[in-house]
Amino acid sequence: MREPSTRRLLVTVGFILAAAACTAVRPPPERGPGELSLPIPPPVPPVPTPSAMGAEVFESSDFVVTFAEAGDTVERLATRYLGDPRKAWTIEDYSGTRAITEGQEVIIPKREWNPVGVFPWGYQLVPVLVYHNVGPEQKGRLLMTARNLEAQMRHLHDDGFQAVSLQDFLAFTTGSRQLPRKSVLLAFDDGYRSFMRYVRPVLKELGFSATLFVYTDHIGAGGNALSWQELRALIDEGFDVQAHSKTHSKLLRQEGESEAAYARRMEKELAYPLALFRKHLGRASETLAYPYGDTDEELLQHVVQHGYVAAFTVRRQANPAFVFPLKMNRSQIYAGMTLEEFAKNLTVFQDETLGVAKTPDWKPSASPVTAAPPAASPRERLAALHDVRSELLEHRGLLRQALEERMIALTVNPRDRGAQEALKRLVGRIAHEVAVLLQEGRELIGRGLLGEARQRFLAALSLDPTNRMAFETLRNQVREVMVIAHTVRPGDTLASLAELYYGDRFRAEVIAETNQLPVNAPLVAGRTLQIPEIPGVVILSH
């Protein structure tokens, strides 16, 4: 690699010093490094240049550390070092930017670093968008024009979203698969043949995946219904097909319906589709979309009994990795939505301060950079920069991020005994902090303080994203939703309250569901309603 110019050296110096205020696991781009308010590192020797390194690439089992060449992009780097341009998102998400400058140090993670997407400053969300019928003209709320559908798909593509498969989404919700920061799951309900004509070509062009949730009475039932043969062809092309019940009737137990009669009806609605899936598609459905989004605890028992491992409502909010698997959220996209209204359904991160490790006895060690002898090699000086960054992060209590920086330093200079010892110390300290948080969380659950318990388990995951106890507890035991009490005033409607609190009239559905009201129900002045907190959506009024 040729010797970089002075300008390139200055760019590299500036990049690394600016990154000293950031983390190895970078916050989302909208949260800049300055928000961490870390102190400026001490003066350091000039950053070693790529040619001075004697090696262009440093590599360990966790990272590749390299300097960008002229013309490099995240796609080129992903191809060169990860063997797949589609993994460019890992470099982009880790660095927090797509911009690559010649001579810039680039850290490339070789494996997933945060499969649950939980950080000290919040957690990742994945929106699921559900559509129904598509045609040349709009008709009602659920028949969207092909033109609007295409505009929305291109908006997603141009904004950097990746339409992930249902399989990858479900892996994310079990804590076993990291997804791109801008991920979305696309769903199309009922089984309309219009999917073949209007939707499939656009998705194929953009490289998007989608899942069709079909109710089996509709398949092969008419001119605008998909056939089993067409569903098999869509599966062969990479699309997914899952169950939406047998008849698309409401699955809740009806008034006056006996327990035995309800069980027989659920056998037809939930088990019969599985038999048809096996017969026509060669495998059963593991996932269910509740008709109309309705569910309750009694229905959940039947869903589990018949072998479904995940199920979707139509609650208008995005999903964290630890979402309860039988009540995952989908946002219905209506025909009359503008692009601005559509974009309100694309929240991908919940800003939330989860707390940092306590550091009352922390004392900075001698800077590995200033302590380095004058004869230190370029490799040692580069590794020392990451050691400094690790110290600064540990001082702020961001232990996981400090650990990552030590691992990067050891990728560059694996013989650095100081970094090796610091790494061991950090591993032990993180284990201790996580154990304390888990104990506190369990005690708080026992006292019924679920909101405080939730914070402890989230903080534990921010330190150790692979901790199964913290993840499973959040997923299955701590599902508290914070609410605001609103006294209905004359003229209030569910839509006006959704606009007031969320800035989005379509989230009236969430208020209606929380208060067990029809979405178009008139409101009586003086009644108190619960306005639930929605992850990723800022409450505008109190």
- Tell me phi and psi for residue 171, to 5 degrees: -65, -40
Structure confidence at residue 519 (pLDDT)? 83
Shared domain for 326 and 395, answered yes or no, is no
Report the percentage of the chain scoring pLDDT > 70: 85
Shared domain for 115 and 172, answered yes or no, is no
Rounded mean pLDDT of 183-205? 97
| Mean pLDDT for the chain overall | 86
Q: Report the CATH number that the domain containing residue 289 is assigned in CATH.
A: 3.20.20.370
Shared domain for 243 and 184, answered yes or no, is yes
Alpha carbon distances (Å) from 326 to 251, 288, 375, 540: 14, 9, 61, 30
Q: Give residue 157's pLDDT band: very low, low, confident or very high (50, 70, 90).
A: very high
Last residue of a domain, one of 347, 373, 400: 347
Shared domain for 98 and 183, answered yes or no, is no
Shared domain for 273 and 148, answered yes or no, is yes
Task: Say yes or no to pLDDT of 456 above 90.
Answer: yes
Structure confidence at residue 6 (pLDDT)? 33
Shared domain for 282 and 195, answered yes or no, is yes
CB crowding 299-319: b at 16 or more within 10 Å, else e? beebbeebebebbbbbbbbbb
Shared domain for 511 and 379, answered yes or no, is no
Shared domain for 200 and 252, answered yes or no, is yes
Task: Say yes or no to pLDDT of 227 above 80.
Answer: yes
Shared domain for 44 and 137, answered yes or no, is no
Shared domain for 155 and 248, answered yes or no, is yes
Residue pLDDT, tens place only, 254-297: 999 999 999 999 999 999 999 999 999 999 999 999 999 989 99
Last residue of a domain, one of 295, 324, 347: 347
Helix, strand, coil percentages in the chain from 3-state DSSP, rounded to 5: 40, 15, 45
Rounded mean pLDDT of 464-486? 87
SS3 assignment, position 501: helix
Residue pLDDT, tens place only, 415-431: 999 999 999 999 999 99
Residue type, 171: A
Q: What are the structure tokens assigned to 284, written together?
A: 């059963």
Residues in the chain, total = 542
Q: How open is the CA angle 390-91-121, to the nearest 5 degrees? A: 50
Domain count, the chain: 3
Distance CA 18, CA 6 (A): 18
Cα–Cα nearest to 370, from 436, 414, 418: 418
Shared domain for 334 and 423, answered yes or no, is no
Domain extent at residue 186: 126-347
- Do the domain assignments include residue 439? no
Last residue of a domain, one of 347, 371, 403: 347
Report the percentage of the chain scoring pLDDT > 90: 68
- Do the domain assignments include residue 359? yes
- Do the domain assignments include residue 516? yes
- Do the domain assignments include residue 228? yes
Q: How many CB atoms lie within 10 A of CB 157?
A: 16
Task: Say yes or no to pLDDT of 340 above 90.
Answer: yes
Q: Report the CATH number that the domain containing residue 496 is assigned in CATH.
A: 3.10.350.10
Which helix (H) or strand (E) element contains residue 124?
strand 122-124
Shared domain for 160 and 284, answered yes or no, is yes
- Do the domain assignments include residue 455? no
Distance CA 143, CA 502 (A): 26
CB crowding 520-535: b at 16 or more within 10 Å, else e? eeebeeeeebebbbbb
- Do the domain assignments include residue 397? yes
Structure confidence at residue 451 (pLDDT)? 86
- Tell me phi and psi for residue 324, to 5 degrees: -65, 125
Q: Give residue 24's pLDDT band: very low, low, confident or very high (50, 70, 90).
A: very low
- Do the domain assignments include residue 307? yes
Task: Say yes or no to pLDDT of 147 above 90.
Answer: yes
- Do the domain assignments include residue 246? yes
Residue pLDDT, tens place only, 356-406: 665 545 455 544 444 455 667 888 999 999 999 999 999 999 999 999 999
Cα–Cα nearest to 197, from 247, 133, 265, 257: 133
Write 199-203 long-range contacts (CB < 8 A, 24+).
199/131, 199/134, 199/149, 200/234, 200/237, 200/239, 202/149, 202/150, 202/153, 202/154, 203/153, 203/163, 203/239
Q: What are the structure tokens assigned to 207, written together?
A: 């490289």
Q: Are strands 57-59 and 63-67 parallel, antiparallel or unpaired?
A: antiparallel
Structure confidence at residue 358 (pLDDT)? 58
